[in-house]
Structure 1
Amino acid sequence: MLHAIKPASMSPATAMPRDAAPRKRPKPGERREQILQCLAGMLEEPGAERITTAALAQRLQVSEAALYRHFASKAQMFEALIEFIERSMFGMINQIVQAQESGLVQASRIVQALLGFAEKNAGLCRVMAGDALVGEHARLQVRMNQFFERVEAALRQSLKLAVEQGATGAEFDPLQRAQLLAAYVSGCLFLFARTGPGCMSANSVERSLRVLLA
């Protein structure tokens, strides 16, 4: 289901088993969390196509009206998943920047964190890659684009630090390298979404990063 940093509003421990009946009287906020866990779980399923609110309601064994008591639209459900991605990843990026003094190490760890998150969250990986957003409201893809712009900005900042630290060659351009790293991440996410997790080893990622940051 959902793995990574565990914000209070969405943690794997509260995930609802896919075939279990929901509680008759869920606690405040619990139904909303169940809906998001179920949506993420359905996105993980092999061959998953565009998910309808009818299919989601059927999986949860509730009416569509019950879904709309918590979300005004399916787009809002996807926005909540994107918010989880943002909170998780930017929280992780902040931790990396604070823990690592080396700009090159920061950039490498940011890329590894993004790919690790995607591998552990196959459903959310499809959201990040844009695959799950095809046919959905256009603002969702806009928001994911903004997410990657922020990621690229974080990478650029780390690589500028690397230049200041004298850890790069004379021809090293932080802007271009940040763009290359962001493109590499996007390509990996697309590959994960198409073939599933486990298609790239940690060693393969490390080798790629050595080339991209050389």
Structure 2
Amino acid sequence: MSEAAVNSIEEPRSADVPASGTRKRPKPGERRVQILRALAEMLEKPGSERVTTAALAARLDVSEAALYRHFASKAQMLEGLIEFIEQSVFTLVDEIAERSDRAGQPGQLVSMLLQFAEKNPGMTRVMVGDALVFENERLQQRMNLFFDKFEAALRQALLVAEGHSGDAVPSDDSAVRASVLCAFSVGRLQRFARSGFRRQPSEQLDASLASML
């Protein structure tokens, strides 16, 4: 599995404290990354209440006004996390399609998604919607579209595994199996988040996939 499957938002280098002890002033783009990283880390706390901009500002030791110089709203911050999820996962979807053996692609897609969640528990709360409660409805709609797209990728992988051409219309069987695999993946993510990140998504994964594939 490529390392890109499990990467987190990287710590911006210019935020480091130099030898003189004076903290460098981060560039605007680097401050955005710091904000998103802090938000994701706050979401990793099991049982944590809804993250507020006041709490986020306090964690970063800045004013709320400073946050809004980089993001117009909290919804935009959460949208930044969703963009990271989309880019990370679908980059790996494309990589699996290009480099993996045909028969193994469906299982590798599920495994990749669950490994990403294990590495990024805060992101998991966004993916399953727990972090989006009481937020702008468009955020949940965007995550719904994410899973629709992931299910479509599974459907295509199943067709490839069956030896069909890329332009083939999915059979009823491949569509049903893709739906089951996607539902299984979402269920594992929900269990991970709601167990306080104790039940790992990849628990007995090989055996579970074998029973479905």
SS in structure 2 opposite 1:35?
Answer: helix
Count of aligned positions:
199
**Conserved in 2, the CA contact under 8 Å of 1:5 and 1:92?**
no
Partner deviation per Cα, 1:45-91 (whole Å, 9 max, x = no partner): 12211111111111111111100000000000000000000000000
The verdict on how the C-alpha distance between 1:16 and 1:150 changes in structure 2, with shifts beyond 3 A counting, is farther
Stretches of structure 2 lacking an aligned partner (at least 5 in a row): 17-21, 165-170
Structure 2 partner of 1:29: 29
Counterpart position of 1:91:
91
- Following superposition, which runs of at least 4 residues in structure 1 exceed 6 angstroms of deviation? none
SS at match of 2:50: coil
Percent of aligned pairs with the same residue? 53
1:63 partner amino acid: S
| 1:198/1:46 CA distance change after superposition, 3 Å | closer
What residue is the counterpart of 1:146 in the other structure?
145
Instruction: After TM superposition, give the deviation of residue 13 of structure 1 in Å.
Output: 6.5
Q: Who is 1:195 aligned against? A: 195
RMSD: 2.5
Q: Which amino acid aligns with 1:118?
A: A
Aligned to 1:81, the other structure's residue is in SS state helix
Counterparts of 2:136 and 2:99, CA distance in 1: 38
Judge conservation of contact 1:43–1:123 (CA < 8 Å) in 2.
yes
Q: Which residue of 1 aligns with 2:79?
A: 79
Determine if contact 1:120/1:197 at 8 Å carries over to the other structure.
Answer: no
Q: 2:47 corresponds to which residue? A: 47
Residue in 2 aligned with 1:61?
Answer: 61
Question: What is the TM-score with the length of structure 1 in the denominator?
Answer: 0.85
Aligned to 2:167: none
Partner of 2:10: 11
Distance of aligned partners of 1:61 and 1:12 in 2 relative to their CA distance in 1, 3 Å threshold: closer
What is the alpha-carbon distance in structure 2 between the residues aligned to residue 129 and residue 178 of structure 1?
Answer: 18
Equivalent residue number for residue 168 of structure 1: none
Give distance in 1, aligned partners of 2:130 and 2:15: 24
Equivalent residue for 1:106? 105
Displacement of 1:12: 4.7
One-letter amino acid matched to 1:81: L
TM-score of the superposition, structure 2-length normalised? 0.85
- Are the equivalent residues in 2 in contact too, given 1:16–1:38 (CA < 8 A)? no
After TM superposition, the structure 1 stretch with the greater mean CA deviation from structure 2, 68-77 or 28-37, is: 28-37
Structure 1 portions without partners, runs of 5+ = 166-170
